[in-house]
Amino acid sequence: MKYFNSRAFAEEQDQKDPLHQFRDQFHFPIDAEGQPKIYLCGNSLGLQPKQTSKYVQQELTDWAKFGVEGHTDAKTPWLTSHEDLSAPMAKIVGALPEEVVIMNTLTVNLHLMMVSFYKPTQKRFKILIESDAFPSDKYAVESQLKFHNIDPEEGLILWEPRKGEHLCRHEDFEALLEQHKDEIALVMVGSTNYYSGQAFDLKRIAKRCQDDNITIGFDLAHGAGNIQPNLHDIGADFAVWCTYKYLNSGPGSIGGCFVHQKHIKNQDINRFVGWWGHNKDSRFNMRVGFDPTPTADGWQLSNPPILSLAGTRSSLDLFEKAGFDKLREKSIQLTGFLEFLIDELDDTSISILTPRTPEERGCQLSIQMKNADRSLFDQLTAKGVVADWREPDVIRIAPAPLYNSFTDVYEFVQRLKHCLHGN
């Protein structure tokens, strides 16, 4: 797409956008003048779909009407309500429906997956992650090492950018694997880095791990609903994600989990278990031993939180109507427009940290401040822009294609320009 630096161009693209009508199906925060704010923070918390209140109210109504019988008689019976979400979620992460389960929250799921797939031996016990992984991932990985009486200083391998650089190079990842391939038990990488916005080549990473017989898992917290990871085709062993960012399910809402088809019927895999992972045909026969459901559902512990599922269902219904391929296409165009407009500012005090090629990023651009001063971010906030600041020097901007517009992007850059020029 050829971009032009004008409001007229932005408005014209919005009129042509086949997904533009979805914007009206979301609530936007309102500023002091009663106008919608420029919301570019879907990478932290997605906006609320207007229909979500109806979905939640339906569950409250069914609870009031049926009590415990809502498990079978509710409009969406609670016993199987999570199962209905596996197919639409599978499309978003590139999986088979039986490989996906909606359960728990992200870090809980990460721990559950490492119980099953991190199998340290005396020789192979190390875990490789990117150096600037989200802190929760590092905490989880370090605690798993300690649980196995392994010192994180010895057991953790960090994939780091080169000196003077901010992005990780895949050739450096491959060099680490070549150096430590006989010591690594697990590679656990974020699909899209929360800070830089760099989207890794998951297929390349998975292929190299498979060549060296190393288990590979991905954290899709900033990937699910943002990029297409194609988890089944690339052969990832497992993946975990949250649904409250790009997937708009509500603050702190339920997470998702992927277990590859090659593992889901293996009853010999170690796992922490609970009764909702038991084969549903005999789940309520309370006096039999654990028999795992032969799908990713076999990793569930407890019955799911129905009100949280309602928010997830609401958003997934919108994703289903929009089509993820179309959303990704629009995302590339929106973020490309944002990149073009920032470059047009020609201001040496800011730079784009995120990779320039669409294949190496999702919708987020990380704007790096030369003097690491938060004051510019505070000025943007005062001008009705909702973004977020990450220490030490980055403003993250994420135009989510389901509800953001080209005009949003254009207006953001105009307000950024005013802040840079001190007015």
What single letter denotes the amino acid at residue 302?
A: S
Q: Which two tokens stand for residue 319?
A: 């994703």
Query: What CATH code would you report for 7-47+323-420?
Result: 3.90.1150.10
Query: Quick one: pLDDT at residue 283?
Result: 82
CA-wise closest residue to 397 among 319, 343, 339, 317: 339
Domain covering 57-320: architecture: 3-Layer(aba) Sandwich (3.40)
CB 224 within 8 A of CB 240: no
For residue 146, give the H/E element and its range.
helix 135-147
- Distance, in Å, from the CA atom of 93 to the CA atom of 316, rounded to the nearest integer, reads 12
- Distance, in Å, from the CA atom of 304 to the CA atom of 315, rounded to the nearest integer, reads 17
Domain residue ranges of the chain, discontinuous segments joined by +? 7-47+323-420, 57-320
What are the average pLDDT values for consecutive 10-residue runs of the chain, which has 423 residues?
96 98 98 95 98 98 98 96 96 98 97 98 97 94 97 97 95 97 96 96 98 97 97 98 98 97 92 90 80 93 96 98 97 98 94 96 95 88 96 95 98 96 76
In angstroms, the Cα distances linking 148 to 32, 119, 120, 189 are 53, 10, 8, 20
Q: Which two tokens stand for residue 50?
A: 């207007």
- Distance, in Å, from the CA atom of 247 to the CA atom of 309, rounded to the nearest integer, reads 12
Q: What are phi and psi of 248, to 5 degrees?
A: 55, 35
- Distance, in Å, from the CA atom of 192 to the CA atom of 201, rounded to the nearest integer, reads 9
Query: Quick one: pLDDT at residue 285?
Result: 78
Query: Quick one: pLDDT at residue 423?
Result: 66
Q: Which two tokens stand for residue 324?
A: 């993820």
